[in-house]
Amino acid sequence: MAIILRLDRVMADRKMSLNELSEKVGVSNVNLSKLKTGKVSAIRFSTLNAICLALHCQPGDILEFVEEAE
């Protein structure tokens, strides 16, 4: 089981830069960059909520479940 972060895709669709999202969400560029590249193991619901508000999207637009082959 794997959860894939698609934040980069949603940001590109909305034409929003990392700096702009960082300002709107109140999360550092470094932490958003880690989210964008999938180098995190957890995300707070409050952060996910703020990202969804800023990008006008649903959590499912950012998070994707992919089954791993056995």
Structural domains counted in the chain: 1
Which domain does 37 fall in, by range? 2-66
pLDDT grade for 1, boundaries at 50, 70 and 90: low
Each residue of 19-56: pLDDT tens digit? Answer: 999 999 999 999 999 999 889 989 999 999 999 999 99
Dihedral angle computed from the Cα positions of residues 42, 53, 13 and 7, in that order, rounded to the nearest 10 degrees: 0
pTM of the model: 0.89
Beta strand pairing call for 2-5 and 63-66: antiparallel
- Identify the CATH number of the domain in which residue 13 sits: 1.10.260.40
